Amino acid sequence: MGTTSMTVNTALLHRVAEKDRAPVPFMLDGEPATALEGDTVLTAILTHRAQLRRNEFSHEPRAGFCLMGACQDCWVQTATGERLRSCATFIQAGMQLTTGAPA
Amino acid sequence: MTAPTLQPVIVGAGPAGIRAAQTLVAHGVRPVVIDEAARGGGQIYRRPPAHFARSAQTLYGTEAARATALHSTFDSLSAHIDYQPNSLVWNAQGGVLDVLHGPTQTTRTVPYQQLIVASGATDRVLPVPGWTLPGVYTLGGAQVALKFQGCTIGSNVVLMGTGPLLYLVAYQYAKAGTKVAAVLDTARFADQLAALPGMLTQPAVLGKGLYYVAWLRAQGVAVHTGARPVRVEGSIEGDMRVNAVVWSDGNTEHTVPCDAVGFGYALRSETQLADLLGCRFAWAPMHRSHLPERESAGRTSVAGVYLAGDGAGIMGADAAEWAGERAALALLDDHGVKVDAERAAELERKLTHLMPFRQGLERAFPFPTDWAAHAPDALVVCRCENITAGELRACARDAGADEMNRLKALTRVGMGRCQGRMCGVAAAEILAQATGKPIDQVGRLRGQAPIKPIPIHLQAQAEAAE
């Protein structure tokens, strides 16, 4: 992160309940990170980051929109190129997720 | 007593789908129930993952008893239905559904003789400049984050648009300890007063709505009626994300600093499956949309296909439960199974009696018909493919597009991954404004399979098998 502003890679979502769950380790943009059991991939990422991906047309960051499987804005790529609809996929230990966020 | 030809499938396990399933089971019929979610309940009574700890009272508030009743009904049916969760119906025709199983990413076919479609609804969205910034969600999305994941979309949140969900989400967020920077309702206070006579027909429901507003005001939350969202502003340094909302009171613009926005304008029906099944559609003025036709019991123009719940017109969760039961009784009755005609009539009476209240809601939270007139050319209407209001207007003006599918073919609006779920309402409003046609005269986006994205090799595989 280095010299960029403090706000880079801050969490978008805030946990306000259900914090007492088992931790689930995963990799986020090549760095180790921790989610909680029962998190969606979207929650796992956005409690660490402010984006899920970049839009293919505007190249601007996106962070999901409807959270109920309709808008298709929350597709996330894994390190191996697989695509997941992050609001409808639960986090699993060892997942390797990428967001296109500045490192 | 099971009739041999009965092979019913129910799509959707929300209030309508669950009551339909219960009714079929009560008559000795074993339905297949296919649902996109991991657990039954639908969106309104969506259940968190099994090991989450909050009580039903915390999750569902005044609706806790209804939510619990519905969930326990569904759980009690498990031995009597063929329940297929995590499963997306992505195509439907000629007695066969194509179904994608999410976790394994495999597709299969499910045959049906009779079909009850209870596909529900999503937020009705009217874009505002800045709506693609991280931190902007639908009102329903803001609620899902809290209910389903124990998270809020920000720590200082503006909620805007209109509809009952606006105040409910504001109340739920404030109750969870999150600062609600402002509630901006496009409806005017005068609209809400004018709606009172109709809404007094359901005093308990009206009372809850008034309670939320009064509670919010008592907590010091700024609630503005007659407010028009102008734009969402974002930070340009560091992460690109929301940092303010600008709104207009008609004379003056106001800026509210915030770190997240939830917005929506009531709900819109998920009608794609009814469309693929060939159901006849008609313009429904109260819903300001083209909807599949259903008669009072839920029958459609296609024999063997029934509709129930918000997927065929937004009537709310209570109505969805009654409509689900009614559609199941119609299905049974149509196939020679004896049903309780008195109960069927009672359900139809309940649904009819809800109408004055439903019309009252439309008066209290009217669709902002001047939205298109205020939408700047630079506004991104299609968030999938970044298509602007100006491009849509230019297409109407220069290419003479005056119908939605023509507009889609020429601009790709509605052709992106969401298939028009997020942009369709807005694109139709822009087209009507640009052509000077009434909104009911610009047509509707035709549904196309797959109705949601599926891996391309699976679609090819399924087509090859046909």
Chain A residues touching residue B155 (CB < 8 angstroms): 14
- Number of A/B CB contacts below 8 angstroms equals 160
Alpha carbon B253 to chain centroid distance?
31
Could you identify the residue written with the tokens 């709606």? B195
CB within 8 Å: A17 and B150: yes
- Give me the pLDDT at residue A9, please: 63
Is the CB of residue B465 less than 8 Å from the CB of residue B107?
Answer: no
DSSP code, position B122: E
Distance between CA atoms of B255 and B154, rounded to whole angstroms? 18
In this structure, are strands B267-269 and B151-152 parallel, antiparallel, or unpaired? unpaired
Per-residue confidence band for A4, with pLDDT thresholds at 50, 70 and 90: very low
CB within 8 Å: A13 and B144: no
- Give me the pLDDT at residue A103, please: 57
pLDDT at B399 over 70: yes
Min distance B251 CA to chain A CA atoms (Å): 30
What is the mean predicted confidence (pLDDT) over B95-123?
96
Distance between CA atoms of A98 and A77, rounded to whole angstroms? 6
- The alpha carbons of chain B give a radius of gyration, in whole angstroms, of 22
pLDDT at B25 over 70: yes
pLDDT at A3 over 50: no
Coil, helix or strand at residue B451: coil
pLDDT at A2 over 80: no
Per-residue confidence band for B466, with pLDDT thresholds at 50, 70 and 90: low
- The alpha carbons of chain A give a radius of gyration, in whole angstroms, of 13
- Mean model confidence pLDDT for chain B: 95
Distance between CA atoms of A29 and A52, rounded to whole angstroms? 11
pLDDT tens for each residue of B383-393: 999 999 999 99
- Give me the pLDDT at residue B276, please: 97
Question: H or E element: which one contains B231?
Answer: strand B228-234
- Give me the pLDDT at residue B32, please: 98
CB within 8 Å: A67 and B138: yes
- What whole-number percentage of chain B has pLDDT above 90? 89
**A91: closest chain B residue by CA:** B103
CB within 8 Å: B132 and A71: no
pLDDT tens for each residue of B255-291: 999 999 999 999 999 999 999 999 999 999 999 999 9
pLDDT at B456 over 50: yes
pLDDT tens for each residue of A33-76: 999 999 999 999 999 999 999 999 999 999 999 999 999 999 99
- Give me the pLDDT at residue B4, please: 54
Mutate to test the interface with B, among A8, A10, A13 (most CBs of B within 10 A): A13
Is the CB of residue B151 less than 8 Å from the CB of residue B339?
Answer: no
pLDDT tens for each residue of B182-237: 999 999 999 988 999 999 999 988 888 899 999 999 999 999 999 999 999 998 77
pLDDT at B55 over 80: yes
pLDDT at A7 over 50: no
Supply the ipTM of this predicted assembly: 0.95
| Helix residue spans in B335-455 (DSSP H) | 341-353, 355-364, 371-374, 389-398, 404-411, 424-435
- Give me the pLDDT at residue A1, please: 35
Q: Which domains does chain B have, with CATH numbers?
A: 8-122+268-337 (3.50.50.60), 125-265 (3.50.50.60), 371-441 (1.10.10.1100)
Coil, helix or strand at residue A36: strand
The pTM of this model reads 0.96
- Give me the pLDDT at residue B239, please: 79
Residues with Cβ within 8 Å of residue A102, at least 6 apart in sequence: A4, A8, A9
pLDDT tens for each residue of B294-335: 999 999 999 999 999 999 999 999 999 999 999 999 999 999
Mutate to test the interface with B, among A7, A15, A45, A67 (most CBs of B within 10 A): A67
Coil, helix or strand at residue B83: strand
Chain A residues touching residue B240 (CB < 8 angstroms): 50-51, 60-61
The pair of structure tokens assigned to B372 is: 């298109």
- Give me the pLDDT at residue B161, please: 98
CB contact burial A42-78 (16+ within 10 A = b; e otherwise): bbbbbbbbbbbbebeeeeebbbbbbbbbbbbbbbbbe
Distance between CA atoms of B69 and B72, rounded to whole angstroms? 5
